[in-house]
């Protein structure tokens, strides 16, 4: 078996109903696995950017890119070079904090990770954290002993570094 | 600009795409369209099942090289098209399906999308993985552009089926229509021109090759590249093997024709491909039925792969020189450059080897009825006759023993292997080419699946001839059970019902049973002369096998000639 890795694929697609279905259906149908996916409007109106993290060997990823390119509503597909990208994920984490000791420990960790407290109740704290997936994994790991009640993660989003862009050519 | 209903706009747009015929079945959600269609000059052929309509449109497309159109109502009508669309998708056939749909909105009933209305089905969701493109129109004004876009996508690049879902209220609503030809599709730009550097590499390889060979797939037919293929093959005296889908793209009475490769390819093709040192593969996706095990396929050859679909490069087989472009354009360019550079004229040792092999194993024949019958059929039919097949033994016998001489004269379900395809497809082919005799080579199992289209053939006066190779069995499966399951028959015996002669007569067609080659020949000649839909029932041995055969999971080198 060839070596499997995580790859990040950035795509520009038509921003219209059904496109997410078409893309996710392609992954299912061809037996590719989406690790995570984030979707939002692109810089140009009418278009959306999908950032897809997919696991597989080089041959599989090459097929993913080619098959995505075949979809009519997919306008541009780029395989991002992991050495030259910025990736970010956002997470909201709700942690048990029944006493002052817990609260102070949690906020100390939050400071170190540059997480922000965004909601407080007598029993819990909610934090917002942005960063690479690894950083968020580490932070959630630290919160576990307190009791993580809920965590919501956006999935990864990414752009390549430098002036280069993957804009759509007309 | 005067306002026009969506239904009217649809027929106008179809006429602009030069649509002359639609195969379909009407239903509630199509009433407004049919009300306009019947005065439009476009012929609507009423099928007896939507699957038949889809296959007929496919047969029309394959025989003519143009888009075939089928139409079905919402819900079950639309879902009955699914097999036909999947079939067209795997064989890259430009079939366009128009489906009725429940209303986009309704002010006073729940007859609208999303409410599980009567005869509502999510046909867009259902057909997304089996169409090249599909869309649902939301307003009447979108219809002309949807038609233009859909036809353009379905018929260009690597062709494929497409579907337009048309809610009933968009058919009746009136709007100002824009029929302009400008369709900008940002995400769709098929590349037809090959990269010059890749052409150079291919030419260099072919010039130095000692044992060059061509493997021609369905892409050659789709790009109408048969003349260029012949020219190139003759220039280098390259033997030409075809994949199943490539059958008929190269004349099989040509000395360089090796026949089909693959599971039921000729022994000649399966053997010679193992000896090639350069393989020029054109418009093929190296499917499992063609290649056998990949590590033993063409082991010594450097492979040049021409395909218009970039995703086919490296999908099944790693190749040495990929060329993403149109086959016709590319073969022409390679030929031009070769002519300039070619010094030696005869590639003697290889040419001799090809001749030697060919004389040794020229289309090995057992003493079965079906192969003999198919050779007899070839003698009777003119060169331009179109032969469609069903799926199974009948299909493999036809591929092996019925020689084809002209492109688009052999129509068969290669990728999906859809039993019941051949008969409606032959109806479609006859509509596309009314002056050509059309024959469906059928097995009794397959013919049973769409036999009701006899009604279409008779009432619409579309005469085709069905030759039923009748072993009262699901013959190919029975063959596998004999070969690989110790001869234990399970679920393959169909019995000798119906009586196909009486069945044909019940539909008002001719039915005849033959017991000898002579009787077959007489029945066929009569059917050709009378131009009446005819079913010729040919009882054959239920024990007959198709050989040669590459056992499943084996390579081409393991081809067995017979038991």
B531 and B463 Cβ atoms separated by less than 8 Å: yes
With CA atoms as reference, the chain A residue closest to B188 would be A72
pLDDT digits (tens, 9 = 90+) for B201-230: 999 999 999 999 999 999 999 999 999 999
Are A106 and A145 members of one domain?
Answer: yes
A126 vs A167, residue with greater confidence: A126
Judging contacts by C-beta atoms under 8 Å, the chain B residues touching residue A73 are 187
- Residue B204's closest CA among B346, B307, B323, B334? B334
Instruction: Give B 484-523 residues with CB within 8 A of chain A.
Output: none
- Inter-chain contact A75–B186, Cβ cutoff 8 Å? yes
pLDDT, residue A89, reads 95
Are A9 and A75 members of one domain?
Answer: yes
Are A10 and A72 members of one domain?
Answer: yes
- Inter-chain contact B185–A72, Cβ cutoff 8 Å? yes
| pLDDT bucket at B123, cuts 50 / 70 / 90 | very high
pLDDT, residue B38, reads 96
For residues A103-116, give the mean pLDDT. Answer: 96
Which residues, other chains included, contact B281 with Cβ-Cβ below 8 Å and sequence gap of 6+?
A: B214, B215, B217, B303, B304, B305, B306, B319
- The domain that contains A28 carries what CATH number? 3.30.70.260
Q: Choose the closest CB to B311 out of A59, A67, A72.
A: A67
Q: Is A22 on the interface with B (CB under 8 A)?
A: yes
- Inter-chain contact B132–A29, Cβ cutoff 8 Å? no
Angle of helix B50-64 relative to helix B422-432, nearest 10 degrees, comes to 50
Judging contacts by C-beta atoms under 8 Å, the chain B residues touching residue A21 are 125, 128
For residues B293-300, give the mean pLDDT. Answer: 89
Angle of helix A133-143 relative to helix A100-113, nearest 10 degrees, comes to 170
Which token pair is A69? 């390119």
Are A106 and A61 members of one domain?
Answer: no
Q: Is B34 helix (H, G, I), strand (E, B) or coil?
A: helix
| pLDDT bucket at A169, cuts 50 / 70 / 90 | low
Tell whether A118 is covered by a domain: yes
- Inter-chain contact A63–B314, Cβ cutoff 8 Å? yes
For residues A122-151, give the mean pLDDT. Answer: 96
Q: Is B189 on the interface with A (CB under 8 A)?
A: no
pLDDT, residue B364, reads 47
Size of interface A-B (CB pairs under 8 A): 39
Are A50 and A69 members of one domain?
Answer: yes
Mind telling me how many Å the CA of B480 is from chain A's nearest CA? 28
Q: Is A21 on the interface with B (CB under 8 A)?
A: yes
Instruction: Give B 306-335 residues with CB within 8 A of chain A.
Output: 309-311, 313-315
Tell whether A64 is covered by a domain: yes
pLDDT digits (tens, 9 = 90+) for B446-469: 999 999 999 999 999 999 999 999
| pLDDT bucket at A4, cuts 50 / 70 / 90 | confident
B118 a catalytic residue: yes
Q: Choose the closest CB to A69 out of B129, B153, B310.
A: B310
Domain end residue (candidates: A80, A113, A144) = A80
For residues A7-24, give the mean pLDDT. Answer: 94
Q: Choose the closest CB to A62 out of B132, B185, B314.
A: B314
Mind telling me how many Å the CA of A26 is from chain B's nearest CA? 7
- Inter-chain contact B314–A59, Cβ cutoff 8 Å? yes
- Inter-chain contact A72–B314, Cβ cutoff 8 Å? no
pLDDT, residue B366, reads 45
B168 a catalytic residue: yes
Mind telling me how many Å the CA of A67 is from chain B's nearest CA? 6
With CA atoms as reference, the chain A residue closest to B134 would be A72
Tell whether A167 is covered by a domain: no
Tell whether A166 is covered by a domain: no
Are A148 and A123 members of one domain?
Answer: yes
* Strand B21-24 versus strand B4-5 pairing type: unpaired
Q: Which residues pair with B384 in a beta bridge?
A: none
- The domain that contains A135 carries what CATH number? 3.30.70.1150
Which one of B213, B245, B473, B476 is the catalytic residue? B476
| pLDDT bucket at B344, cuts 50 / 70 / 90 | low
pLDDT, residue A82, reads 86
Cis peptide, bond prior to residue B548, ω within 30 of zero:
yes
Are A69 and A13 members of one domain?
Answer: yes
Please give the residue range of the domain that contains residue A112. Answer: 86-157
Tell whether A169 is covered by a domain: no
Write down the ipTM of this complex: 0.88
Q: CA–CA separation, B125 vs A29, rounded Å?
A: 13
Which token pair is B412? 């068969």
Q: Is B186 on the interface with A (CB under 8 A)?
A: yes
Q: Choose the closest CB to A70 out of B186, B311, B314.
A: B311
Q: Is B153 on the interface with A (CB under 8 A)?
A: yes
Would the pLDDT of B374 be above 80?
yes
Query: What is the enclosing helix (H) or strand (E) of B174?
Result: strand B174-175
Are A74 and A91 members of one domain?
Answer: no
Mean pLDDT, chain A, rounded, equals 92
pLDDT, residue B367, reads 44
pLDDT digits (tens, 9 = 90+) for B381-404: 999 999 999 999 999 999 999 999
Domain end residue (candidates: A57, A80, A103) = A80
Are A149 and A103 members of one domain?
Answer: yes
- Inter-chain contact B128–A25, Cβ cutoff 8 Å? yes
Burial (CB count <10 Å: 0-12, 13-18, 19+), residue B412: buried
For residues B261-265, give the mean pLDDT. Answer: 93
Are A93 and A31 members of one domain?
Answer: no
Distances (CA, A) of B240 to B39, B56, B215, B458: 49, 30, 6, 40
pLDDT digits (tens, 9 = 90+) for B329-343: 999 999 999 999 987
For residues B80-98, give the mean pLDDT. Answer: 98
pLDDT, residue B362, reads 54
With CA atoms as reference, the chain B residue closest to A19 would be B128
B449 a catalytic residue: no
Cis peptide, bond prior to residue B498, ω within 30 of zero:
yes
Buried b (16+ CB within 10 A) or exposed e, B97-123: bbbbbbbbeeeeeebbbeeebebbbeb
Domain count of chain A?
2
pLDDT, residue B226, reads 98
pLDDT, residue B162, reads 98
Instruction: Give A 28-87 residues with CB within 8 A of chain B.
Output: 29, 59, 62-63, 66-67, 69-75
Judging contacts by C-beta atoms under 8 Å, the chain B residues touching residue A2 are none
Question: How many CA atoms within 13 Å lie on the side-chain side of B226?
Answer: 20
Q: What domains can you pick out in chain B, each with its CATH number?
A: 4-175 (3.40.50.970), 196-360 (3.40.50.1220), 369-547 (3.40.50.970)
Tell whether A115 is covered by a domain: yes
Tell whether A40 is covered by a domain: yes
B484 a catalytic residue: no
Supply the DSSP symbol for B361.
S
Q: Choose the closest CB to B153 out of A69, A72, A74.
A: A72
Are A94 and A152 members of one domain?
Answer: yes
Which one of B119, B198, B231, B287 is the catalytic residue? B119
pLDDT, residue B459, reads 98
Mean pLDDT, chain B, rounded, equals 95
Mutate to test the interface with B, among A70, A78, A168 (most CBs of B within 10 A): A70
Are A127 and A104 members of one domain?
Answer: yes
Q: CA–CA separation, B71 vs B78, rounded Å?
A: 8
Distances (CA, A) of B229 to B188, B237, B239: 28, 12, 11
pLDDT, residue A63, reads 94
Instruction: Give B 126-145 residues with CB within 8 A of chain A.
Output: 128-129, 132-133
Domain end residue (candidates: A58, A80, A102) = A80
pLDDT digits (tens, 9 = 90+) for B29-82: 999 999 999 999 999 999 999 999 999 999 999 999 999 999 999 999 999 999
pLDDT exceeding 90 applies to what percent of chain B?
A: 90
Tell whether A112 is covered by a domain: yes
B476 a catalytic residue: yes
Which one of B145, B168, B328, B358 is the catalytic residue? B168
Secondary structure E strands in chain A: 5-14, 33-41, 47-56, 74-80, 85-96, 116-120, 124-131, 148-153, 157-160
- Inter-chain contact A72–B133, Cβ cutoff 8 Å? yes
């Amino acid at each position: 078996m060839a070596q499997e890795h995580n790859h990040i694929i950035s795509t520009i697609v038509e921003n219209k109903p059904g496109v997410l279905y078409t893309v996710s259906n392609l992954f299912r149908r061809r037996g590719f696995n989406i690790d995570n996916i984030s979707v939002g409007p692109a810089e140009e109106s009418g278009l959306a950017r999908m950032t897809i993290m997919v696991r597989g060997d080089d041959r599989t990823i090459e097929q993913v890119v080619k098959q995505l390119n075949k979809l009519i509503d997919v306008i541009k597909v780029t395989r991002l070079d992991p050495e030259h990208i910025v990736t970010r994920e956002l997470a909201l984490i709700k942690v048990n904090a029944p006493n002052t000791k817990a609260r102070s420990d949690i906020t100390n960790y939050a400071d170190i990770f540059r997480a922000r407290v965004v909601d407080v109740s007598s029993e819990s704290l909610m934090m917002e954290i942005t960063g690479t997936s690894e950083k968020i994994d580490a932070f959630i790991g630290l919160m576990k002993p307190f009791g993580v009640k809920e965590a919501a993660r956006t999935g990864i989003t990414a752009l390549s570094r430098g002036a280069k862009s993957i804009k759509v050519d007309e | 600009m005067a306002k026009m209903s969506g239904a009217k706009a649809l027929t106008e747009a179809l006429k602009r795409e030069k649509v002359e015929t639609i195969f379909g079945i009407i239903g509630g959600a199509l009433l407004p369209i049919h009300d306009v269609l019947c005065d439009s000059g476009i012929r609507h052929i009423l099928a007896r099942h939507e699957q038949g309509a889809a296959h007929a449109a496919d047969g029309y497309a394959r025989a003519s090289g143009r888009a075939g159109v089928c139409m079905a109502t919402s819900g079950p009508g639309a879902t009955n098209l699914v097999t036909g669309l999947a079939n067209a998708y795997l064989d890259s056939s430009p079939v366009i399906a128009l489906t009725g749909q429940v209303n986009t909105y309704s002010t006073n009933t729940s007859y609208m999308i999303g409410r599980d209305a009567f005869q509502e089905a999510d046909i867009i969701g259902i057909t997304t993985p089996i169409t090249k493109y599909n869309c649902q129109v939301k307003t009447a004004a979108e219809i002309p552009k949807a038609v233009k876009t859909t036809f353009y996508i379905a018929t260009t690049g690597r062709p494929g089926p497409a579907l337009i879902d048309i809610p009933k209220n968009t058919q009746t609503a009136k709007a100002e229509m824009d029929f302009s030809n400008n369709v900008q599709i940002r995400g769709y730009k098929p590349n037809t021109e090959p990269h010059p550097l890749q052409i150079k590499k291919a030419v260099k390889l072919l010039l130095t090759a000692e044992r060059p060979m061509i493997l021609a797939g369905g892409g050659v037919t789709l790009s109408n590249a048969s003349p260029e293929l012949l020219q190139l093959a003759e220039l280098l005296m390259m033997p030409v093997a075809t994949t199943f889908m490539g059958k008929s793209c190269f004349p099989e009475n040509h000395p360089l024709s090796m026949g089909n490769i693959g599971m039921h390819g000729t022994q000649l093709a399966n053997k010679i491909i193992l000896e090639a040192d350069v393989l020029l593969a054109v418009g093929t996706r190296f499917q499992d039925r063609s290649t056998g095990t990949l590590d033993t396929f063409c082991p010594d050859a450097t492979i040049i792969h021409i395909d218009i679909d970039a995703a086919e490069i490296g999908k099944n087989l790693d190749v040495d020189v990929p060329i993403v472009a149109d086959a016709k354009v590319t073969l022409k360019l390679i030929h031009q450059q070769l002519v300039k550079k070619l010094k030696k004229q005869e590639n003697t040792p290889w040419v001799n080897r090809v001749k030697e092999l060919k004389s040794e194993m020229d289309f090995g024949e057992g003493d079965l009825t079906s192969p003999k019958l198919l050779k007899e059929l070839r003698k009777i039919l003119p060169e331009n006759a179109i032969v469609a097949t069903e799926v199974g033994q009948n299909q493999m016998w036809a591929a092996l023993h019925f020689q084809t001489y002209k492109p688009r004269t052999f129509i068969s379900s290669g990728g999906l292997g859809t039993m019941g395809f051949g008969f409606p497809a032959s109806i479609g082919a006859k509509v596309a080419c009314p002056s050509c005799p059309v024959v469906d080579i059928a097995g009794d199992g397959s013919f049973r699946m769409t036999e009701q289209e006899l009604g279409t053939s008779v009432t619409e006066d579309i005469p085709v001839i069905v030759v039923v190779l009748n072993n009262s069995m699901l013959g190919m499966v029975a063959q596998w059970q004999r070969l690989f399951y110790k001869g234990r028959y399970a679920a393959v015996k169909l019995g000798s019902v119906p009586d196909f002669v009486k069945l044909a007569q019940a539909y008002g067609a001719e039915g005849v049973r033959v017991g000898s080659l002579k009787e077959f020949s007489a029945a066929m000649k009569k059917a050709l002369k009378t131009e009446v839909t005819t079913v010729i029932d040919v009882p054959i041995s239920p024990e007959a096998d198709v050989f040669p055969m590459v056992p499943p999971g084996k390579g081409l080198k393991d081809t067995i000639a017979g038991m």
